[in-house]
Structure 1
């Protein structure tokens, strides 16, 4: 149970709600944003003293029933409720380190998708594998050291555009939310903890977003790359979760016959010349 993170998460979720959001009268002017602690306690059917101790990081581990009541009182989404259980230590735990080895069948699948740019990312945003079209659209991650393959570092610590993507700010917010979930699942993994510390120290933008304690990421359905050779390429973005290794398979495709599909086809040729498929 991570008492301090649990308390901070509860506080930020409470402060974002207004009384009218939970059918309570707004009453007199409030000194602080959001609901009062006693209001959350009433809605969750627990004592105010216990809820206050939870936010202060002084309470013992809450039961599943208590967490369910708090999740309902704070109007948590499914992802936020899952995160609450992870922080409270009531969710199934994973091994101490996140996995970085990609399943061979997934590597083979990447090679069988010539018109799709595909890559596999770890729970900490390291690109673990990519096919030739993804290398041509972005860069050949296989030629980089593990540290330089990390998209979170690229997004927050390196100057210049992130592969010319149109949704760079949305992607950065997505990175922060996902890393917060990853840190909760792997609190003793030095690769995860050191990455978060490095980003918090090196990027004021990351530190600001981190303090929001957001964990609900909106799906990124399309993305536009501004490629130096073929120009703008707008793709559909689909992300598949590989649960057994806590990884993600990211696929970029374009509608058949579209200018972006033609651009990808050109990149397929350019990519196959530079990075031949074995």
Structure 2
């Protein structure tokens, strides 16, 4: 009986020992799982912080890139503009007044004044080869020295001069023996060009969109009803800067890729060195050019 009790106790003891060992093993395994879980949580926390930091960095870089692109395509006033090798022109205040040198019929002095509005090179500029791509420009007229392009404002003046010439030629035909023959010979071939110029100047004026407010002039009796535009101050691009920039990049006579003569006379703004009542601006930096 004692032997049986010993066996019984021995069996019961072994069960207790096994249970204790199992409990210890489970405790160890649980401890390992808790440790692994804690490590995993820590890694997830670090990963989350890395993702947040990286997202912020990408956002900052995206904003910086957007700002750089926006800065390159907007002027200081926030207006949308295009990339161009021509720098932004400074602005100046100009008061519009009638100038009889231009508001006149065809005569040597007026004709010369109109001709001198175009700087040397007739407004055409030369860009070095393989540079137009950075400005997203279509190909110009190819030459060995570079590619030739026109500047819009000088194209507009060219058109205005052409319309002026056409008008005074028509005027000169009055009283001729055979005006139709002269018209067919001199004017008919250039009509398409004149029509082009009317439309081109129309679009140029609408593009510039000068929104200066104008008031009626004072009549002899003190009344106001007619608006002639004189005596009104406008904010304009510096004309001397426009002429200077075009001259600096102009097509020179000694490398004339257009095959046409260029003007060698002094641009009109260089003839006016004082800011007079007619709003002509000073151009001291152009003296001697």
TM-score (norm: length of structure 2): 0.22
| Greater radius of gyration (CA) | 2
Higher RCO (CA 8 Å, separation ≥ 6 residues)? 2
Higher strand share: 1
